[in-house]
Amino acid sequence: MFTGIITDVGTIEAVEQRGDTRFTIACGYDAGGIALGASIACAGCCLTVVSVEPRSEGGSRFTVDVSAESLSKTTLEGWTQGTHINLERALKAGDELGGHIVSGHVDGVAEIAGMRDEGGSRRFSFRAPAALARFIAPKGSVCLDGTSLTVNEVEGASFGVNLIPHTLEVTTWGTAKPGDLVNLEIDMLARYVARLNESLQL
């Protein structure tokens, strides 16, 4: 489980095809603190560490294997050497829950439809897949590329969020642009409420 609070920005160092696709990711995390089999949210996608080593310049590099199914349902298929991605370590008992409960299981891919600066913040508008739009509500939570965000407004399959300067500086959102695709995970509470409502209507 995760919270959607980004703790580092990693860089894809290598992409290798070996049955599944293996990504090598450089980051600022201490190698000694990453166990084999640990879960790390990479751009919002929960991935399992299969190897890890320290980097001479500091931090570490770790590798993850991604199946064809995961590639087809996320933006990971577009990762190439040099791609920057948001990272979050798995939640530990007693950690502060600063965002919202995030599983790291991406539901689909949304597109940045537009963006504009508002004071020091930046307002983004997104287009969500039609099948997921009904789970997105004003003032509700949504996870985009691993980042816990609050929905401002919803109109059909489109919705908007505001990102403050701090978030733009410490995540990949500062370099995002219209047309970019992002991993979308809907709020699991919204998912269960919708399912309960369907059951009551049967």
pLDDT of residue 101: 87
CA distance 141 to 135: 10
pLDDT tens digits along 66-108: 999 999 999 999 999 999 999 999 988 777 777 888 999 999 9
Does the domain at residues 8-89 carry the CATH identifier 2.40.30.20? yes
Q: Is 108-201 in the same CATH topology as 8-89? A: yes
Class of domain 108-201: mainly beta
**What is the CB-side half-sphere exposure of residue 120 using CA atoms within 13 A?**
6
Q: Which of 111, 155, 101 is nearest to 133 (CA)?
A: 155
pLDDT tens digits along 28-78: 999 999 999 999 999 999 999 999 999 999 999 999 999 999 999 999 999
C-alpha separations of 166 from 32, 66, 94, 98 in Å: 28, 31, 25, 15
Task: Kindly indicate the confidence band of residue 176, based on its pLDDT and cuts at 50, 70 and 90.
Answer: very high
Which residue ranges make up each domain of the chain?
8-89, 108-201
